[in-house]
Amino acid sequence: MNRYPKYKESGVEWIGEIPKHWGIKKLKYVAKILPSNVDKHIYPDEIQVRLCNYTDVYYNDYITADTVLKKGSCKESEFAKFALKKSDVIITKDSETPDDIGVPTYVKDNLDSVVCGYHLTMLRPLACRGEYIFRFIQSDRTRRYFELESNGITRYGLGKSSIENLLLTIPTDSEQQQIANFLDRKTGQIDELIRIKERRIELLQEQRTTLINQTVTKGLDPSVEMKPSGVEWIGDIPRRWEVNRLKYVAKILPSNVDKHIYPDEIQVRLCNYTDVYYNDYITTDTVLKKGSCKESEFAKFVLRKDDVIITKDSETPDDIGVPTYVKDDLDNVVCGYHLTMIKPLSCRGEYIFRFIQSDRTRRYFELESNGITRYGLGKSSIENLILPIPTDSEQRQIADFLNNKTKQIDELITTEQQKIELLKEYRQSLISEAVTGKIDIRNEV
């Protein structure tokens, strides 16, 4: 793609050179900055509205007439100030991490009674197109500026002055429109490619789950004689197999070892919730945080090869019962809080791990979990999980087969994820290059 014929120094290090006929201005001179204070409460004596909330901005490039928004209410003065209009830009102004601050969305349509909610800042264009401001804020240069300007420790915020003093490049009005149109078209094409790859990943994950379901309940021999398992959600199983409750083939140990480190306790490495949730295996190479525990806790919860660990509580029931398998002999590693250890007695841990991965088991755990704002899975529900028990040699064969097949599928998934990351990087680079004039898109539209 071509560059502009002539450039000049912008005077802003992180922007660099810009086309000679472009200008530089602070955002406050081309848009009105309005941090919102409209909360989520609904009061009957206020104006009833739809509220554009943090997640509506964070997960969408555009707010349109079709965007599903929750109900809310606000005072007349708030409605006059924060009612959204076509061409407005909204950004996130605080978050738990600085890289989630300054995420923008663009109001693409005329909206009816929609108000900008709390944790957000409205940018109302005055002397610059909203579409262009939106794309400029999407650029990685702007995102880095907002990260540096944010302040906080456990929660980060972006002050009004930091937003007002953002320096942005100002092309001619016609170029602003051309850049916006160009980026709409190109990012739309990239986003479609990303959606195709995400769908490919979904299909691979479904294939993976189906393979596990089929293998742990039907075995590897399609011609084997079957019998009813006596459990509706398991169905028929091979005739040689048995059915038993988990408590009769493994020891169930809900952990109570928290993350605090006490100097008078045994110093250990702690296997925590996220270590289990994001990994199929715990190995000697798994990076684990430091912790401490009492001698009695160490004796009870130290992890050994062939143990299985599952998540036992979470904010959503579908995150409960996620398993991992201890693949190696570990040194001084203890199972942490919010997790339950399953210590095999008369069944291979690797087979138990795979059975718990099946969607049949996951659905059982979802139904057995209880709670309102946080869901938990009691010890008795885990103990009474019914599972089919193949012969020992079949358990080993099933584990080996699934290790090989899931590894192949996981490698395909990883390849697709890497392609998605490259597409996202290209998308980001394209936006940044266009809004800072590093590429001339005037003949590309």
Taking only the tens place, the pLDDT of each residue in 84-101 is 999 999 999 998 888 899
For residue 59, with 0-12 CB atoms within 10 Å meaning exposed, 13-18 middle and 19 or more buried, which class applies? Answer: exposed
Nearest by Cα to 358 from 232, 208, 213, 219: 213
Q: How far apart are CA 323 and CA 402, in angstroms?
A: 15
Q: Do domains 23-170 and 242-389 have the same CATH topology?
A: yes
pLDDT tens sequence across 144-155 = 999 989 988 778
The beta strand positions in 93-179, using DSSP E, are: 94-95, 104-107, 114-116, 120-125, 151-152, 156-157, 167-170
Residues in CB range of 410: below 8 A, 6 or more apart: 208
Residue 279 has pLDDT above 70, yes or no: yes
Tokens of 319: 């995150």
Residue 372 has pLDDT above 80, yes or no: no
φ, ψ dihedrals at 28, nearest 5°: -65, -15
pLDDT tens sequence across 40-55 = 999 999 999 999 999 9
Nearest by Cα to 97 from 27, 146, 38, 33: 146
For the chain, the structural domain boundaries read: 23-170, 173-226+391-445, 242-389
Mean pLDDT calculated for residue range 61-70: 96
Q: What CATH superfamily is the domain 23-170?
A: DNA methylase specificity domains (3.90.220.20)
User: Could you tell me which CATH class the domain 173-226+391-445 is placed in?
Assistant: mainly alpha
Residue 106 has pLDDT above 60, yes or no: yes
Tokens of 103: 């995420």
% the chain with pLDDT above 90:
90
Q: How far apart are CA 104 and CA 147, in angstroms?
A: 14
pLDDT tens sequence across 19-33 = 999 999 999 999 999
Q: How far apart are CA 175 and CA 157, in angstroms?
A: 33
Mean pLDDT of the chain: 95
Enumerate the β-bridge partners of residue 291: 268
Mean pLDDT calculated for residue range 237-244: 96
Mean pLDDT calculated for residue range 168-187: 97
The CATH code for residues 242-389 is: 3.90.220.20
The confidence band for 445, taking pLDDT boundaries of 50, 70 and 90, is low
57-66, 141-150, 311-320: which has the highest mean pLDDT?
A: 57-66
Tokens of 166: 């953002």
